[in-house]
A and B are shown apart, each in its own frame.
Chain A
Amino acid sequence: MNWFNKKIILSFFVIISLGFLAFFVIDKAVKSRLNNLPVISNIAKFELTNFDNQKFTNDQLIGKLSLVAFIFTSCEDACPIMSDHFSVLQKRFYDSDLIQFISITVDPSVDSENVLNDYSKNYSIKDNWFFLTGDLQEIVNLAEKGLFLSASLLPAGHSTRFVLVDQNGNVRRYYEGTDKTSIFEIQNDILTLLDD
């Protein structure tokens, strides 16, 4: 019986240690998610116009998580996929008022407010998705100097990356906007930042 008791005590210790180990690993995994979203830079000042003719400035980034992308309406390859991905995320986070989506045209000479208005109807189901246009130079500056994205050979040469900007206007992470697996990553990161 003594031998049996020893075995039970030993198994008990093994299980308790596994429990502690698992607790440590889970805790590390949770913290690593936030550590993996470092503040990369603070977004520069900008002033653009939404498709409803309302001004949209960097101040409107404060207090909300923003996903930012550069597109243009006559683009046939990447942009429809990128906007579809925004659309999926907009539906899934429909009930939150803390998230907004920002699509900025890189072809403002074609993409007037009216064109963007029509374009938005194909994708957006809520007023938390802004489709911005404005002065081309201001848009290029925002992409290159504000977000460190390439903006040469426009419109076709725009970056296809998504940028996650936090409630304080800080850039936290970039994603490949045409990659479907990014949706999964973005969802996790949004939840991490909302919990923080």
Chain B
Amino acid sequence: MNIRLFFRSALLSTILAYLLIFIGGLVRVSGAGMGCPNWPKCGDNWIPPTNVDLEQFNLTLAWIEFINRSFGAILGISIIVLCFLSVKYFYSDKRILSISFLSLFLVIANGVVGGALVWTNLNPFIKTFHMILALALVSSLSFLTVEAYKILSVNKFAHRPSSNINKKIIFIFAICIIIEILLGTGIRTNIEIIQIEFPLLDKSQQLDSIPFYKYFHTFMGFTLLFLSFYLYKIFSNHSLKIIKSLNIFILCMITVQILLGELLVFSELPQLARLFHTWGSSWLVGISVIYYNLVDYELV
């Protein structure tokens, strides 16, 4: 069994998935979603035209969107390879086998949802669904990566259940991350609907029109900061170096996310902050999956 190959394939797919989320976020903040006015082709061909009637095309936006689609296709191929390897090496491990094919389903489904976005002229709800599917995809890919890593390190790691309460805390942390992301996407969807209906409102007026739940997003951010402090404290003596690194990473990431969130509200050019705020949240989802699945292990 060539598990190292499977691990590398899973890791590569995970990294590509994160890059794809970054590129997808870039499409969203640069407003390039309708850069290709049709799907799956971009104009009359698969590749954006180089010289066309200006009414139909903004070439810059078309290329940004095209790169997003191409990268999606590359990720799709990478996951097909992953599925092939999982059939070859993990035929008896139904968990790895099914999650591999779930990833393949998610990447294809999300491609089609991307098409639906173009057909509905960027419906804000479908945009959110597009992102949620992407988060599900990085979760399943992160899971495969960490499982393969565990099998690879079977001589170094031993399964030693940590206290039930501590594992529950990680679970609650992950649930809070998901709620926080849903609140955030809710705010973004709301802003986009307001921007369509009331294009003349400035940013502070748009924010004022969002219902009360926006404060819950801030509140939840600080709850997560508190929880990540707690995790840091209880697992600071963990024997796995990777858990210690993840402790610091989560703590820093939540802090950065809170700062970026404030920057979004108060800065004049928030697109870059928006991009990293969204991207950072996707990191926290994958990291939670890895953390949860590794915390029960110890160095032998």
Contacts and interface: CB of A to CB of B under 8 A. Distances in A.
B14 to A, nearest CB: 15
B58 A33 contact: yes
A96 B200 CA distance: 8
Interface stretch (A76-84, A106-114, A183-191): A183-191
A187 B199 contact: yes
Contact of B58 (A22, A25, A32, A95): A32
B59 interface: yes
A25 B197 contact: no
Interface stretch (A46-54, A128-136, A144-152, A173-181): A173-181
B55 to A, nearest CB: 5
B206 to A, nearest CB: 13
Contact of A32 (B22, B26, B59, B271): B59
Given A32-B59, A173-B55, A175-B55, A92 B198 contact: yes
A38 interface: yes
Interface residues of A, number: 30
B199 A29 contact: no
Given A4-B245, A32-B58, A93 B200 contact: yes
A26 B55 contact: no
A6 interface: no
Q: Which of A19, A25, A180 has the most CB of B within 10 A?
A: A25
A180 B37 CA distance: 13
Given A18-B22, A32-B58, A95 B30 contact: no
Interface residues of B, number: 27
A139 B77 CA distance: 57
B74 interface: no
Interface string A114-129: 0000000000000000
7 contacts: A19-B272, A29-B32, A29-B64, A32-B59, A92-B199, A96-B200, A181-B37
Interface of A: 4, 18-19, 22-23, 25-26, 28-33, 35-36, 38, 92-93, 95-96, 173-175, 180-181, 184, 187-188, 190-191
Given A32-B60, A93-B199, 13 more contacts: A22-B22, A22-B275, A23-B272, A26-B275, A29-B30, A29-B60, A29-B64, A30-B30, A32-B61, A173-B54, A174-B55, A184-B196, A187-B199
Interface of B: 22, 26, 29-32, 34, 37, 54-55, 58-61, 64, 121-122, 196-200, 245, 271-272, 275-276
